Amino acid sequence: MPDAGPIPAGPAPLRAVFADPDFRRLWAVGLVIFGVRWIETIAVGVFVYQQRGSALLVATMMLLRLLPMALLGAFLGAWAERIERRTGLLLVVASSFVTSLALGLLALGGALEIWHLALASVINGIGWAADNPVRRMMLGQVVGAGRMSTAMSVDVGTNNASRMLGPVLGGLILAAAGIEGVFLLSAVLYLVAIWATLRLRYRNDAQAPTGEGVLGRVGAGIALVLADRRLAGVMIITVIYNIFAWPTTSMVPVIGQDRLLLGPEGIGVLASMDGVGALLGALLIAWYARPERYWQFFVGGVIAYCVMTAVFAMAPHAVPAGLALMLLGLGGSGFSIMQTTLVFLATPPEMRSRVLGLLSVCIGVGPIGFLHLGLLADAIGAHNAVAISALEGLLALWFTRRWWRGSL
């Protein structure tokens, strides 16, 4: 399918992207992937803690989902160029279906072990790493460059909505039907995603072999990023966000309990506030974002996230803390939506998959941020650690401004 023409002066209306059947199908696949991710994350975390009583093991399950992004993202981007993407998406969704079904059957037979969950986390992490160069690449091709911002607003908004509802559903299903119920439901939902993928009309011509190996294609992608200040700026800011900003929300339960003196219900409400802000931000960007403002949303979103993170950490009461988290989520949505949009628009069509794969690598540095924050929190307390990490993020933005300031 040919790429779209010139970018319009304003954002495309939501009805324009939803009018395309293939967009609706790709959006439905994303909805399943996002929903299952957050349903399983909370259920697996509770199950592992109940079985072993180890917070480290719980954190390890999340880190295992992130690790493939850092290790394999670039290679998956190069691989995605050589396949028909609908086939690639089908492979990704089908592998997740088989994984959830296997875990559900093991749980039904009383044979589920922690190592099964660890292996499944890695497999699902590979699917997560492939999302940018496969499904989101297809989204951009289907709607065209002119509607990419609106499409990403919908996609990120869907992720944020599932981030709010998924943990609640995961906890309820775990309590009512056990861990086997969680995984069997996931398998059923993946069948819906497989059906939507099979109905896609979109096809792309896989690149013909050129004699250039995977490492050569990855190297060419890196060279392109280094040569283009816009792409380098996106990658640098993505690394900063994932080391100094995003990990800070993992301390919300700790700060809620120890500093704000909230119970489990209050902590749950507090933890949902950034999702509320992110969903609101996605809707606002879908309606009002214009191409000349994309970089302002991107950089401003990270700045707002860091500033509001520090405000949250130092807030003396739950209400201002919750408001800060909501504004934090609002800023985070600007970053998340424009992250993929800017890469898509700045990259030549034949290089997009491999550069989106490199973007996954930059997202995959998140474990460094979690380790940094955890060590800092042990040393000086969670709220101080969160505030310092946010300030470090702002300093990192300042010192790297030569790569992004000219784009604002």
Q: Where are the alpha helices (DSSP H) in 212-317?
A: 214-227, 229-240, 252-258, 264-288, 294-314
Q: What is the pLDDT of residues 358-376, one digit of tens each?
A: 888 888 888 888 888 878 8
- Supply the pLDDT for residue 195: 97
**Burial letters for 16-50: b for 16+ Cβ neighbours within 10 Å, e otherwise?**
ebeebebbebbbbbbbbbbbbbbbbbbbbbbbbee
Tell me whether residue 1 is in a domain.
no
- Supply the pLDDT for residue 183: 95
Q: How far apart are CA 21 and CA 199, in angstroms?
A: 9
- Please tell me whether residues 26 and 166 are part of one structural domain: yes
* Residues near 175 by beta carbon (within 8 Å), at least 6 away in sequence: none
Q: Which of 201, 231, 253 is the last residue of a domain?
A: 201
Q: Which of 201, 224, 256 is the last residue of a domain?
A: 201
Tell me 386's DSSP state. Answer: H
Name which of 25-29, 52-56, 240-244, 278-282 the model is least confident about.
52-56
pLDDT-derived band at 208 (thresholds 50, 70, 90) equals: low
Q: How far apart are CA 397 and CA 202, in angstroms?
A: 39
Q: Which of 201, 232, 263 is the last residue of a domain?
A: 201
- Supply the pLDDT for residue 209: 56
Residue 103 in contact with residue 122, Cβ under 8 Å?
no
Residue of 176 and 239 predicted with greater confidence: 239
One-letter amino acid at 18 equals F
Hey, is 76 helix, strand or coil?
Answer: helix
Q: Indicate the number of domains in the chain.
A: 2
- Per the prediction, the chain carries an average pLDDT of 84
Q: What is the pLDDT of residues 249-277, one digit of tens each?
A: 778 877 887 888 887 667 767 877 887 88
Does the pLDDT at position 242 exceed 80? yes
- Supply the pLDDT for residue 211: 54
Tell me whether residue 7 is in a domain.
no
One-letter amino acid at 228 equals D
Hey, is 8 helix, strand or coil?
Answer: coil
Tell me 351's DSSP state. Answer: G
Q: What average pLDDT does range 143-159 have in this prediction?
A: 81
Q: What average pLDDT does range 138-157 have in this prediction?
A: 82
Tell me whether residue 262 is in a domain.
yes
- Please tell me whether residues 147 and 127 are part of one structural domain: yes
- Please tell me whether residues 120 and 236 are part of one structural domain: no
Length of the chain: 408
- Please tell me whether residues 225 and 371 are part of one structural domain: yes
- Please tell me whether residues 164 and 269 are part of one structural domain: no
Tell me whether residue 8 is in a domain.
no
Q: Which two structure tokens, joined as six digits, stand for 309? A: 């993170």
- Please tell me whether residues 64 and 152 are part of one structural domain: yes
The CATH number given to whatever domain includes residue 76 is 1.20.1250.20
Tell me whether residue 366 is in a domain.
yes
pLDDT-derived band at 4 (thresholds 50, 70, 90) equals: very low
Q: How far apart are CA 243 and CA 79, in angstroms?
A: 27
Q: Which residues form the domain of 258?
A: 213-408
- Supply the pLDDT for residue 3: 44
- Please tell me whether residues 30 and 179 are part of one structural domain: yes
CA-to-CA separations, 72 to 192, 215, 284, 374, in angstroms, rounded:
27, 12, 34, 25
- Please tell me whether residues 280 and 344 are part of one structural domain: yes
pLDDT-derived band at 120 (thresholds 50, 70, 90) equals: very high
How many other CB atoms are found less than 10 A from the CB of residue 125?
Answer: 22
- Supply the pLDDT for residue 5: 40
